[in-house]
Amino acid sequence: MSLIALAAVWQFVKPGPGDSSPPNLGPRLDSALVMTADCKLDEARKELAELKTAHATPEQLKRLQKAINDNGPPCEQKRLRRKAWTEAEPAINAALQIDALDRAASRLAAFVRRWDDGPETRKVADKIDLRKAQGLLDEAETCLARSDRGCLENRLIAAERYNRPELAGRIRTLREALSNLLASTLLGGHTVSAAPAQPPQVLNSEPPRQAVPAPSRVISTSPAAAPAVGQSAQQARKILSDAERELGQGNYKSAMDKADICATMIDAGNRECLALKQKAERLNRDMLRCVANGSDWINDRCN
């Protein structure tokens, strides 16, 4: 009787075929999906096999298998790129050690063309750019020692294009030296010619005549009485023309320096020089802001 009652109870409380719940394998599936994203595909495949044994749902198994298949080609590409960089990096570093910067840059560019850019290549490119900018400033200092204004200006412009904040102090110092050199060059010809030498006095036996008082000095406003003013205007036009040419070539800092010299040392308060200086300053600010945002600066515009 007892056995009959127990059988009846069992029939009443036993779980039905749809009542069994599969184990919670969601966290394990998520971990395996992260493995595929990190290119740990062998570990992900191992986890797939274990999830099958643990009776994961078909949807879970299908999702993990798809992630493994989708990440296979890009992960293989990453593996080949790491191998290629391991081979290319020593040659690039060897070129850097002997200051063969162009050779190092060429090898790096060849790698990037084949395998695309990455954190390691950007780091090396940054190092090359810094070394090139430093070399240009070293050459600029040599030009300054020779008082070669054109050489100094060209090296400075080339160095500024690398936009290295750590070299801003050296560039500023050399810019000031260039301004002083330019001013001394321009003002060197702006001197009053010496008075002609007096002919030697002729000795005679005549008694000295009574001194005649000198006529009072009269300041004339005629054009012939102010050659220095005309010379200043001529030099102002020349340096303004140079500044406009630099502005047209995109050398904004050089244009600013020349316009400043024109407005302060050559022809104080010259409106054209002041206007050009303000325009060069505005374009220089816009260019720096444009480049900092990752855009291209072309023909005085941000693109």
Cβ-contact 84, 120 below 8 angstroms:
no
Chain centroid, CA 44 distance in Å: 43
| CA pseudo-torsion sign 155, 159, 165, 166 | negative
298 DSSP 8-state letter? E
- Interval 53-63: pLDDT, tens: 888 899 988 99
Is the pLDDT at 171 greater than 90? The verdict is: yes
Is the pLDDT at 206 greater than 90? The verdict is: no
Residue 258 carries which side chain, given as an amino acid letter?
K
Is the pLDDT at 218 greater than 90? The verdict is: no
Share of the chain above pLDDT 70, in %: 76
Share of the chain above pLDDT 90, in %: 41
Of the candidates 296, 294, 259, the residue with the CA atom closest to the CA atom of residue 277: 259
Is the pLDDT at 227 greater than 60? The verdict is: no
Q: How far apart are the first and last CA of the chain?
A: 94
Q: Where are the alpha helices (DSSP H) in 98-118?
A: 101-115
CA distance 277 to 263: 9
- pTM for this model (two decimals): 0.56
String of DSSP letters for 155-183: HHHHHHTT--GGGHHHHHHHHHHHHHHHH
Is the pLDDT at 265 greater than 80? The verdict is: no
Mean pLDDT lowest among 26-35, 78-87, 190-199, 286-295: 190-199
Is the pLDDT at 160 greater than 70? The verdict is: yes
CA distance 78 to 113: 15
Within 13 Å and on the Cβ side, how many CA atoms surround 18?
0
Classify 116 as helix, strand or coil: coil
Of the candidates 247, 298, 300, the residue with the CA atom closest to the CA atom of residue 272: 247
Q: Which helix (H) or strand (E) holds 301?
A: strand 301-302
Tell me the chain's radius of gyration from C-alpha atoms: 41
As beta bridge partners, residue 301 has 298
